Amino acid sequence: MVCAVLGPAGDQVTHHISVVIPVYQGELPLPGVIVELESWTAPFTTPDGATARVVEVVLVHDHGPDGSPSVMRELAARYDWVRTVWLSRNYGQHAATLAGMSSTGGDWIVTMDEDGQQDPADIPTMLDTALRDQVAVVYGAPVNRPPHGALRNSASRTAKVLIGRVGGATEVTKYNSFRLMLGEVGRSVAAYAGSGIYLDIALGWVAKPVATSPVTLRDEGERVSGYRMRTLFSHFWRMALTSGTRALRVVSVLGAALAVIGVLVAVVLVVAKLAGADIEPGWTSIVTVLLITTGAILFSLGVLAEYLGIAVNMAMGRPAYLIVGDPASGPLGRRSAPPAID
Confirm whether 124 is domain-assigned: yes
**Number of domains comprising the chain:** 2
Looking from the CA of 111 toward its CB, the CA atoms found within 13 Å total: 31
236 falls within a domain: no
178-226 pLDDT, tens digit each: 999 999 999 999 988 877 777 888 898 888 889 999 999 887 555 445 5
Question: Is there a single domain that holds both residue 159 and residue 284?
Answer: no
- For strand 137-142 and strand 179-182, is the pairing parallel, antiparallel, or unpaired? antiparallel
Which of 229, 262, 279 represents a domain boundary (last residue)?
229
Please check whether residues 79 and 223 belong to one and the same domain.
yes
Domain match, 222 and 266 both: no
DSSP string, 147-215: SS-HHHHHHHHHHHHHHHHHT--TTGGG--S-EEEEHHHHHHHHHH--TT--HHHHHHHH--S-EEEEE
Q: Is 139 in the same domain as 75?
A: yes
Residue 223 sits in the same domain as residue 255: no
Whole-angstrom Cα distance, residue 236 to residue 91? 16
Q: Containing domain of residue 297, as a range?
A: 246-316
Q: Is 92 exposed, middle or buried (0-12, 13-18, 19+ CB in 10 A)?
A: middle
DSSP state of 65: S
- Whether residues 67 and 174 share a domain: the answer is yes
Average pLDDT, the chain: 79
Co-location of 195 and 251 in the same domain: no
Distance CA 52, CA 58 (A): 18
Asked, for residue 308, whether it belongs to a domain, the answer is yes
Domain contains 327 = no
Tell whether 205 is covered by a domain. yes
pLDDT digits (tens, 9 = 90+) for 293-317: 777 777 777 777 666 766 666 666 6
Q: Is residue 328 part of a domain?
A: no
pLDDT tens digits, one per residue of 125-163: 999 999 999 999 999 999 887 655 555 555 555 555 555
User: CB atoms < 10 A from the CB of 264, how many?
Assistant: 12
